[in-house]
Structure 1
Amino acid sequence: MSRYTFEELLNNVAPFINMQQNVNINITKKLMFTIWVLAKPESFLAASDRFGLPKSTGHKIFRNITHSLVQLMPQYIKWPNAAQKQLSCNIFEARSRGFPGVIGAIDGCHIPCKQPIGNANDFYNRKSFHSIILQGVCDHRGLFIDCFIGMPGRMHDARVFRNSPLFHQISNAERPLIPENMHLIGDSAYPLLYNVMTPVRDNGHLTFSQRVYNTKLSSIRSIIERAFGLLKNKFRRLKYLDISDFNLGNDMIAAACVLHNFIIIHDGINVEEEDDFFNEANIEIDDIVHEEGLQAVQKRTQIIELF
């Protein structure tokens, strides 16, 4: 992040910072300290010593700035407009050599966390660790266009999706969020909906066109895995949230997502080329049965017939 882009971030977040707290500490130092804590897996004591701060002061500053960064979510994590949707469709179609109408990829990422007091079972996921779920949707750049944060790790991706504001928005027939000829793509953990295309289940008798469809969908859906991988490698605190306050944990995840988008927008990172980050994503792919609406099946069949 260059000096000029850092100054822009500082200017954007400044109106949301509680200036009455730690008035003797420069606002630039507060933001740099917060980004450092999110980016490095060292203790608060070590990070505070590095910046010449008492540990208790470091905690207060981190909470204040992290919460302020969350207030920037509407500015940096927002649904694409018509032109941006069409651009994503064009690029995804070119990358997949023919898969039409894709404006983004959806998936869930488990953020490992400390065992919560009094509710350990709900956060204990099927991979045998405690976690908070981040549901993300990204565009062709790996830029998050929607985030839903805070569901317990035991919850299945499909249930997280159905509890998210995004599900209700794309299900709104009166004010559809996604045009009829466009859709998101997800793995088999997600329900097949008119605006969410998923793989055809492999029963051992897939046609050639169905196999091609699955391959093309998988090839472009990997962008969300790369986005999660980049997020966790840039902000390594998300590899394990050693905190008891889960509201702060949710804010830390949200703040990291805001910074992820800010970096991509201003530094021009190409997530598609970040091969080192691909295997860092914590993705679950489940094989469960969903009810598939007739219109959704017909739309998927029409796409398959293109191949």
Structure 2
Amino acid sequence: MTPNCFYLLENKLGPMLVNPNSTGRPRVPPRVQLLAVLWLLVTPDSYRSIGLQFNLAKSSLNHCMRRVIQVLGNISSDIIKWPSVTRMSTVTEKFKQIAGLEHVLGAIDGSYIEIPAPSIDAHCYLTRKCRYAVILQAVCDAELRFTDCYAGYPGSVGDLRVFRNSDLWYNVNINRHSFFPNQEFIIGDKAYPILGWCLTSYRDNGHLTQIENNFNYILSQTRQTIERAFALLKGRFRRLKYLDMSRVDLIPATILACCVLHNICLSDINDEVEDYIVEGNRENEQNRENNEECEEIGNCDNEGIIKRNYLATISFQKR
């Protein structure tokens, strides 16, 4: 985070971190709260060592952490938001420049955030690799900004189930036109269903045509944006590589706060991200797997199949 980006963040959050009606011992200054919590999120250092750097007791740092996470959550809807109608054309054009696929409004995927063993229902949080984790489902645009985030489902749950229980699924089914006014769509991997507004690759059964293979390649190239977005998130906020928190109920809020900061950092044109992406990619390769594959029957609709076949044909003809 550049100094200019931090000053903007301090101006925005500072008033929310001050309680003018408080009595007794003065609250930690907003700048110290922000700096300490940012340091906490970007390093795996202990609370005690970070507290020493900022002259804070471990308990004080813990209180600062909760306050900052709360105010970041309060502004999340202003920072992580679906593209406006006026911006949609810009988003789809930038996706088109990646691999030539038109009308793409975002890429969706899920990522594991490892956590300690919860005190209750621990088996629900075990992934297939026998690690305790929660799932972050996110949609990003071509500039790696998150446009939708949904965190907190246990690691044993498949991507399809998380998707169908997410706010995005619920809201799109209520009013799809407000999300995809001009037949735009998002793209996902094989764990997601084939819908009119969510397209996935063809299942490789060993008999794919040239048209289908070409479409799978284009989709794979375009989907790299969400993989890079997760890599950047974990490379910048290294606390997410292992979120050592005892209270499971606070974990989703902490993940969302990091996603908010991720978008805020990307608003700075001088932000350099490649080193963070390289570091985060190592983590993704180690702890992410496709934990569910959709079957064609029951997890797709005719509109999605027709749209995918049409785009596959058009893309092959334009080679």
Q: TM-score, normalized by length of structure 1?
A: 0.94
Cα distance, 1:192 vs structure 2: 0.6
- Corresponding letter in the other structure for 1:247: D
Cα distance, 1:275 vs structure 2: 5.3
Residues 14, 164 of structure 1: alpha-carbon distance in 2 compared, 3 angstrom cutoff: same
Residues 83, 279 of structure 1: alpha-carbon distance in 2 compared, 3 angstrom cutoff: farther
d(CA) in 2 for partners of 1:85, 1:278: 28
Unpaired runs of at least 5, structure 1: none
RMSD over aligned CA atoms reads 1.9
Match of 2:35 in 1: 32
- Per-residue CA distance 1:133-174 (angstroms, 9 max, x = gap): 110000000000000011111110010000001012222357
Q: TM-score, normalized by length of structure 2?
A: 0.90
SS in 1 for 2:202: coil
Match of 1:183 in 2: 185
- Corresponding letter in the other structure for 1:83: T
Match of 2:310 in 1: 302
Cα distance, 1:175 vs structure 2: 4.5
C-alpha contact 1:108 1:284 (8 A) present in aligned 2: no
Match of 1:207 in 2: 209
SS in 1 for 2:71: helix
- The number of residue pairs the alignment matches comes to 306
- Corresponding letter in the other structure for 1:26: P
TM alignment of 1:45-64, pairs within 5 A: 45-64=48-67
Cα distance, 1:279 vs structure 2: 3.6
Of the candidates 284, 288, 291, which is equivalent to residue 283 of structure 1? 288
Residues 139, 174 of structure 1: alpha-carbon distance in 2 compared, 3 angstrom cutoff: closer
Match of 1:135 in 2: 137
- 229-238 or 177-186, which moves further after superposition? 177-186
SS in 2 for 1:194: coil
d(CA) in 1 for partners of 2:60, 2:175: 50
Cα distance, 1:61 vs structure 2: 1.2
C-alpha contact 1:223 1:271 (8 A) present in aligned 2: no
Unpaired runs of at least 5, structure 2: none
- 280-289 or 182-191, which moves further after superposition? 280-289
C-alpha contact 2:241 2:283 (8 A) present in aligned 1: no
d(CA) in 1 for partners of 2:89, 2:273: 19
Residues 174, 240 of structure 1: alpha-carbon distance in 2 compared, 3 angstrom cutoff: closer
d(CA) in 1 for partners of 2:253, 2:267: 21
d(CA) in 2 for partners of 1:180, 1:196: 14
Match of 1:12 in 2: 12
SS in 2 for 1:118: coil
C-alpha contact 2:127 2:155 (8 A) present in aligned 1: yes
SS in 2 for 1:171: helix
C-alpha contact 1:38 1:236 (8 A) present in aligned 2: yes
TM alignment of 1:158-169, pairs within 5 A: 158-169=160-171
Match of 2:114 in 1: 112
d(CA) in 1 for partners of 2:306, 2:261: 39
